């Protein structure tokens, strides 16, 4: 099972993305745990995550998170995919990144 952490400023907008991603995972029978937290809670969740996806509004935190997480993938969700809540597309993208790490 893969663990995908989404981080945004308040954790609210990413909650909807989590729902869309979970729906896509269920449709395709993909075993994955996806959850969203606010930027303030992110550090308490890093150890559980296989990949950390940042909402576009946290683009400014990318380098900081990359430094903290080392080899763990950290990516910024495409603003168009985020705005349109393209959960299936974001899920497949995250899983492709993880597949490349193995």
The catalytic residues are 8
Cβ 58 vs Cβ 7: under 8 Å: yes
**Residues whose CB is less than 8 angstroms from the CB of residue 47 and which lie 6 or more positions away in sequence, other chains included:** none
* DSSP H or E segment with residue 26: helix 13-27
């Amino acid at each position: 099972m893969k663990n995908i952490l989404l981080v945004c400023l308040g954790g609210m907008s990413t909650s909807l993305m989590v729902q869309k991603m979970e729906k896509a995972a269920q449709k395709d029978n993909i075993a994955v745990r996806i959850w969203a937290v606010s930027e303030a809670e992110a550090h308490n969740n890093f150890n559980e995550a296989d990949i950390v996806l940042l909402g576009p509004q946290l683009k400014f935190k990318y380098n900081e998170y990359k430094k903290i997480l080392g080899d763990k993938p950290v990516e910024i969700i495409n603003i168009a995919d985020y705005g349109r809540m393209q959960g299936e597309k974001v899920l497949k993208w995250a899983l492709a990144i993880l597949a490349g790490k193995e």
